[in-house]
Every structure is written in C-alpha cells, then in structure tokens.
Amino acid sequence: MKIAVLVKQVPGSESPLPLNSDQSWLDGNGISYVMNECDNYAIEEALQIKERNGDGEVVVISLGPERVQKVIREGLAKGADRAIHVQIDSDALADPLIIASLLTEAIRGENFDLIFSGLQSDDLGMGQTGIIVGELLGMSTASLGMATELSDGKIKVKRELEAGFFQWVSMSLPASITIQSGLNTPRYPSLKGIMGAKKKEINVLTPNLENVKQSAKKVYVPQSDKQTVMIEGSVDQVVDKLVETFRNEIKVV
C-alpha cells in the first residue's frame, strides 16, 4: 500500500500576520509557522493503515518555499518513509486548482494507492485541493473523512454530514480522501524518529510556473469604524431612509 499525504505549512494561531512592504502577501520573517492541524490527522491515518497492513510506504508531500521542509521533517519524524517537496519561491498561490495542478504533475508517476490530505487549511480554508488532485489523477474522491476501512481492494470512508449525521461510502482504489480533525489521535515525534528523519530522503522538485496566471496583487487588513446615526421623522420617513441606507451605503438590497 503506497500512501501520499499532502501537508501544508500555515501560520500558527497565535502568530502575528505582518504584511510585506508592497502589500503583495504576508511577511514570512515575522510569522511563526506550523503544520496545518487537519494534516496531522491525515499523516496519522496513513501511518496506522501502514502498521495494520504490516508493510507499505507513506510519502509526505508539500508545496512551498524552502521553509516548508520544517513540516516535512515533522512528518518524517512521525514515521513517514520519504518526502517530496514541490519548491516554489512563495506560498502566495491562492487558487486551489493551480496548487492541485502543481502537486499532480509532481506525483503523477508515483502511482499512489491512496492520497490523504487535511479537509482544509487553517489559513485560506478552501477545502478543495485534495479533491481536485484526486480528480486530476482520475481517482475516487471523498471529503470529510471521519474513519476508514480497507478490504478487498476497496476503502470504506465514514463521511461527516450536516446536523450530526454520517455516511459510509465504499470506493475503489486508488482514492483521494480529505481528512477531518478528530479522526484519530496524532502521535508526537519520538527522539528516535527526529534523529532518523534527518537521514530520510526529501526529493525537491521545481515546477514550471509559466502557466500560472493567477496571483495576489494586494492584501490588506480591513479597517473598521463605528458610527451612530439617529433617524427621526414619521414612520414612512424612517422606512424610506433605512431603505436608502441599505441600498446605497450598506449595499445589501
């Protein structure tokens, strides 16, 4: 069983988010980065499947600048066998189709049986990359995975639905599944694992970005203020003023 796990490095929840000088993206020098929360559960699920089967390979895959090797090493320290780093100069790619396309081209020849990814990233929260990767590779796909069971060349996935309901679906392999937080209890890297991770292979690939047409031109911190306006007059005058305000100033009607 050959399993890929897509991981992403994101700003920590307590980290400040300073902008760079031209406001084209965040200033990475002032940010504390961590592994995306859902991706920890995805790695753990892959490792448990490998352990239950008694053999197989778990490959950690990440896209981004050189600093993402920190979370790659973390995945290797937990027990992944090797890693692929799709290296780009910036992580300012916000379009999940572009991100999925770059990842797909990097792993197309690997012929993975399973691809796990976190349900969504803690920074942008698109929740689409893992599904798009599966579609581009012609795999069965499922989202919101809360449990998995492998048998007879198929995988059963317990999917979380709305209002506390769940759904079991059976899919043929290969398959791409996005993992929800709480699926399992992620392990911590052991000292032995941390030392061993230094010797494990990280294959660094540089993708062709010529066809990447979308980029962030400017990001900014929204400015907010408060203003109280007293509306006086008859009922009809108050209603007319409210409608005018909603239509022309707040723009909700």
Q: What is the pLDDT of residue 95?
A: 86
Q: Is residue 40 helix, strand or coil?
A: helix
Domain assignment present for 50: yes
**For residue 234, what are its two tokens?**
């008859």
Asked if 173 and 153 count as a contact pair (C-beta separation under 8 A), the reply is yes
Q: Give domain status of residue 249, yes or no.
A: no
Residue 233 lies inside a defined structural domain of this protein: no
- Please indicate, yes or no, if residue 218 is contained in any of the structural domains: no
Confidence of residue 91 (pLDDT cuts 50, 70, 90): low
Name the most confidently modeled range: 10-24, 137-151, 228-242. 137-151
What is the pLDDT, as a whole number, of residue 213?
67
Task: Report the CATH number that the domain containing residue 66 is assigned in CATH.
Answer: 3.40.50.620
Inside any domain, residue 229: no
Is 220 within a domain? no
Q: Other CB atoms closer than 10 Å to residue 86's CB: what's the count?
A: 20
Provide the pLDDT confidence category of residue 153 given band limits of 50, 70 and 90.
confident
| Mean pLDDT along residues 129-149 | 96
Residue 61 has a pLDDT of 98
In angstroms, the CA 14 to CA 99 distance is 26
Domain, as residue range, for 95? 2-205
Which residue spans within the chain are E strands per DSSP? 2-7, 9-11, 33-35, 57-64, 82-87, 114-118, 140-151, 154-160, 166-172, 175-179, 202-205
Residue 98 lies in a domain: yes
Q: What is the number of structural domains in the chain?
A: 1
| pLDDT (0 to 100) of residue 92 | 65
Is position 219 within any domain? no
pLDDT at 114: 97
